Structure 1
């Protein structure tokens, strides 16, 4: 089969590799319909974080189940599924508590091979999310909506959930990438009254407004903090941190009103944090790996199917697998908010 390979920073290739096979009783083999490039992929693409060279990559996809292992009962060959980047078992304490992204029976990242024609998916029986019907039953836009539920929409929702966004809140969203934009959708879905998007890019500002942002703050650093304080009563009730840089995290903490919670889902680029600011402002800090399957099954899939949300609009450029290099370049150069990769729609 064909698969995307990370050669070295700045260089992707498509190579012929062995098609995956069932290795464990809980596995499923999925024929990929659509996949995409994630903002987190750019960290190793740019050489900022380590990734093994000459390795397969990708962690978001939708597809058709081709075969399943002997212990898989609820998922069957022919099912149309969302393949989350998480692989919860559905039985452990973490999964039962609604934090399947922290399931101890699967190491997140150990099967990041979704940018390919086929995928082996561990712990498939509970973690895969079945979509009614077949891909050909849906429009291209709706397929894009489903694809966001593999990661980016669920991660945006996780930032809102962990920040404890509730009806009537004023929310600040740090980051105007796909996760930040999905954070805006999530804040609106949880009935926030005011949503302040921190964005300096006109195309992303426009989409932020479409998704529910009531205010746009293009400033950065101290100027951004000053602007938010002018717009709010002592700061935001909840802050969604969807970037992970030192500046973004620092700003997030400063725009939180006393007693607010920061929901942090941006992959942190600073390993150490001074928690004194949290203490003296009574600020809560939560977040981490999204509970993708839990959110999809309980909230997000129904929200998509009922046309409450339209997160697939974060895909602003489309490629085929053969043009994987261009897909990464488009995001690296900010020519695309998120790069869609269409493999097959049948």
Structure 2
């Protein structure tokens, strides 16, 4: 099969590798129908050290079950499924508490060195607890939106849930990438009436307005903080959803959050020096939360809105490539020529 590997910063290759095989009785093999490039994939694209052994890429995919191990139940060859970016048994105490990303028997895709989601097929560990059947055909126009359940929509939703967003909550979303835009969608779905989107790419923030943003602030740093404060009578917002992962975004979150409010981080942090002391969190009674989204925990809640057409998170995909042109997709996202790239093997 063909699969995507990264050999260093900016060095993405699509190679021929052996087809994945069952290695545990709880495994399944899923033939990929759709996958995509994640904003978090750009972090190694910028800074991965050169290596003779490439890193398999891709953790968001849906496809058709080809084969199951003897201990897999509830799934059979031919089932169309979506696969959360973390695999889990969905039965341990952490899974039952809704923190599937901490499953005692789980992990994150790519599950091994054979290939990730940006490939023609994937080995899925803990298939019974990980796979979710899709009640549509493999040629459904809803597939791009259903693919977002693997990560990006669930991650935006997780940001809003962890921040306690409701109809009584004012919200600032930092970042106009796909996660930020879907955090806007999630905050609106949870009832927020005031949603300020901080982003500087007009085509993206225009989509954010369609998803529910009431205000857009293009400025960054102290200027952006001042504008959000002006919009909120000087106080800031109850919730700040930080969807970037860089230190300036966190510092911006500290500047726009209301006293007693919550900062929810779901952008993969690329820093270790975030201020958390008296001048930042402690003195204003702020809460810091977030983390990798337990996407499996949210799929049953979020899927009905996609199926009935009330939300269309797949609109974040604005470029489609075939597997051979995945390196072009990375370049397009890195150059901000694409918001999020859909991959059709």
Q: Tell me if TM exceeds 0.5.
A: yes
Residue in 2 that maps onto 1:310: 312
Q: How does 1:49-60 map to 2 (within 5 A)?
A: 53-60=53-60
1:42 to 1:50, Cα distance in 2 relative to 1, 3 A: farther
Counterpart secondary structure, 1:5: strand
Residue in 2 that maps onto 1:272: 273
Residues 36 and 118 in structure 2, CA contact (< 8 A), matched pair in contact too: yes
Alignment gaps of 5+ in structure 1: none
Out of 240-249 and 104-113, give the one that drifted further.
Answer: 104-113
Q: How does 1:47-126 map to 2 (within 5 A)?
A: 47=47, 53-111=53-111, 113-126=116-129
Deviations 1:130-172 (A, max 9, x none): 1013212x11xx1110111111111111100111101132100
Residues 43 and 49 in structure 1, CA contact (< 8 A), matched pair in contact too: no
The separation in 2 between residues aligned to 1:311 and 1:76, in whole angstroms, is 28
Q: CA deviation at 1:53?
A: 4.2
Counterpart secondary structure, 1:318: strand
Out of 100-109 and 26-35, give the one that drifted further.
Answer: 100-109
Residues 56 and 110 in structure 2, CA contact (< 8 A), matched pair in contact too: no
Q: How does 1:216-231 map to 2 (within 5 A)?
A: 216-231=216-231
Q: How does 1:196-345 map to 2 (within 5 A)?
A: 196-233=196-233, 234-276=235-277, 277-297=280-300, 299-343=301-345
Counterpart secondary structure, 1:46: helix
The separation in 1 between residues aligned to 2:188 and 2:48, in whole angstroms, is 33
RMSD: 1.5
TM-score, structure 1 length as denominator? 0.95
Counterpart secondary structure, 1:268: coil
Q: CA deviation at 1:272?
A: 2.6
The separation in 2 between residues aligned to 1:53 and 1:262, in whole angstroms, is 38
Residues 242 and 266 in structure 2, CA contact (< 8 A), matched pair in contact too: yes
The separation in 2 between residues aligned to 1:52 and 1:281, in whole angstroms, is 49
Counterpart secondary structure, 1:135: coil
The separation in 1 between residues aligned to 2:87 and 2:50, in whole angstroms, is 23
Counterpart secondary structure, 1:94: helix
The separation in 1 between residues aligned to 2:327 and 2:310, in whole angstroms, is 34
Residues 316 and 337 in structure 1, CA contact (< 8 A), matched pair in contact too: yes
Residue in 1 that maps onto 2:187: 187
TM-score, structure 2 length as denominator? 0.95
Number of matched residues? 339
The separation in 1 between residues aligned to 2:146 and 2:247, in whole angstroms, is 32
Alignment gaps of 5+ in structure 2: none
